[in-house]
Amino acid sequence: MATKEKIILAYSGGLDTSVCIKWLQEKYGLDVIAVAGDLGQDHDGLEAIKAKALASGAVECLVVDMREDFANEYLTSAMAANALYENKYPLVSALSRPLIAKHLVDAAHQFGAKCIAHGCTGKGNDQVRFESSILMLDPSLEIIAPVRDWDLVSREDEMAWAEAHGIEVPTTKASPYSIDDNLWGRAIECGVLEDPWAEPPADIYTMTVSPQDAPDAPTYVEVSFEHGIPCALDGKQMSYLDIIYAMNGIAGTNGYGRLDMIENRLVGVKSRECYEVPGALALIEAHKALEDLCLERSVLHFKLGMEQAWAEQVYNGLWFSPLKEALDAFLADTQQCVTGTIRLKFYKGSCTVVGRTSPYSLYDFELATYNADDEFDHQAAKGFIDLHALTCKVWAKNRLSMGAKMHQFNAVASTADEFTGAGSAVVEAAEAITETAANAMPSHS
């Protein structure tokens, strides 16, 4: 008997991907090999996930503990990049997809499968991340996205289809939220959160307490880094993975790490996203504070732009792109001297850096102090400023010779011109300012 073609499926253990198994068998006559990973998400155990995949019809289910690799290969570069998409979101889901994709491609090679499937919808970023990663790792592979293709519109449709096909359906009432979580945090979407005016209900949170329920006394923690990677807490050497777990606990019990934001998805939709990212945000805060101490000014400033570019590449599913690789090389180079310790203070929802020290510190007390130890050359400042401002001084002289008024007041006046027609209060306010300015500057008119 001819053996069936095989397909690898990214399997989570949830209803969607369980239905995917049967759907792929029915529609394409494929043998489904499920791959499930532990990335530190809340789950019932890898063995239970495997049993469910097999019960749903998979011919095989690989379960992989991906936590060490996630921390040591993915969250290390995220740390070097202080990775925050739109300056806020630490890329919880975006960072996990390329690692899962790598395991899917490995499984395809191991089992001789030509095709990979995932359970993402057609509206999110995760489909882009899975597929872009897979295509970059092995461009010969084909991809099927059942949830994008099938006509099971509502959850009820899906439950009915599952029941009719002998797939175990959840007996508890389904959560109204769509949740994705791992070591680096938790993303919560949908339900009442789709109304951007609605305050997130307390029940969406599981990793953090509400700041008002947090302890009344502050908690202090010292985080040490070696070459940019967290390596100890309160002087105790620990693996990065264990530090992340510990920081999630410390920050979470102090009510720190909740985000509520409107986010721009790659597919063009603005979505309302809530996150719990206690450990990730606290570690990024600490890492930034250490960089403030150790990085030379122009490297630090230039790096900010590279960080944003890195976060966008990763958010957009381009983990394996050449630009991301080049940015990694730059960022890794900057981390050589990011070694030292940061003292954090957690208190009722806040995380504040209250101390920093490093053998590579560029903070020079004699240069910074205002006391008698001051070694800064105050006299040198005058010549410095003369040359620093020279080009702008020449420009200002030229403008004045052309009869121009002080340019900041002209700027207000031209803003007022642009708004005429709108008849708005803005125009009146701008006119009032212009008038005041004109009165205050009679010599220039």
Hey, which residues are catalytic here? 16, 97, 126, 178
Closest to ligand ARG by CB, 263 or 285? 263
Minimum distance, C-beta of residue 417 to ligand ARG, in the bound complex (Å): 41
DSSP state of 30: P
Report the C-alpha dihedral over residues 184, 174, 263, 121, rounded to 10 degrees.
Answer: 100
Give the integer Cα–Cα distance in Å for 82 and 298.
Answer: 17
Residue selected from 72, 87, 175, 178 as contacting ligand ARG according to rule CB under 6 A: 178
User: Would you give the binding string for ligand ARG spanning residues 186-205, x where CB under 6 A is met?
Assistant: -x-x----------------
Minimum distance, C-beta of residue 414 to ligand ARG, in the bound complex (Å): 40
Q: Output phi, psi for 220, to 5 deg.
A: -105, 140
Closest to ligand ARG by CB, 126 or 131? 126
Give the integer Cα–Cα distance in Å for 83 and 242.
Answer: 20
Closest to ligand ARG by CB, 50 or 186? 186
Contact 92, 187 (CB under 8 A): yes
Closest to ligand ARG by CB, 89 or 240? 89
Closest to ligand ARG by CB, 116 or 430? 116
Which helix (H) or strand (E) element contains residue 393? helix 390-401
Binding-site size, ligand ARG (CB under 6 A): 10
Task: Tell me the two tokens of residue 399.
Answer: 């403008």
Residues within window 42-101 making contact with ligand ARG, judged by CB under 6 A: 93-94
Task: Tell me the two tokens of residue 386.
Answer: 């003369």
Minimum distance, C-beta of residue 187 to ligand ARG, in the bound complex (Å): 4
The angle that helices 15-28 and 46-55 make with each other, rounded to 10 degrees, is 30
Give the integer Cα–Cα distance in Å for 445 and 433.
Answer: 16
Q: Provide the sign of the torsion angle of the four alpha carbons 127, 36, 312, 324, taken in this order.
A: negative
Residues 6+ apart with CB under 8 A from 354: 220, 343, 344, 345
Minimum distance, C-beta of residue 180 to ligand ARG, in the bound complex (Å): 4
Minimum distance, C-beta of residue 270 to ligand ARG, in the bound complex (Å): 11
209 belongs to the binding site for ligand ARG (CB under 6 A): no
Minimum distance, C-beta of residue 261 to ligand ARG, in the bound complex (Å): 9
Closest to ligand ARG by CB, 8 or 314? 314
Tally of CB atoms within 10 A around 412: 17
Residue 10, SS3? strand
Tally of CB atoms within 10 A around 296: 11
Minimum distance, C-beta of residue 275 to ligand ARG, in the bound complex (Å): 8
CA 412 to each of CA 313, 443, 445: distance values in angstroms, whole numbers, following the listed order:
38, 19, 16
Give the integer Cα–Cα distance in Å for 278 and 207.
Answer: 8
Residue 15, SS3? helix
Task: Give the residue from 286, 385, 220 showing the smallest Cα distance to 82.
Answer: 286
Contact 295, 338 (CB under 8 A): yes
User: Would you give the binding string for ligand ARG spanning residues 261-300, x where CB under 6 A is met?
Assistant: --x---------x---------------------------
Closest to ligand ARG by CB, 94 or 295? 94
Residue selected from 18, 125, 334, 341 as contacting ligand ARG according to rule CB under 6 A: 125
Residue 219, SS3? strand
Minimum distance, C-beta of residue 264 to ligand ARG, in the bound complex (Å): 10
Closest to ligand ARG by CB, 110 or 264? 264
Residues binding ligand ARG (CB under 6 A): 93-94, 125-126, 178, 180, 187, 189, 263, 273
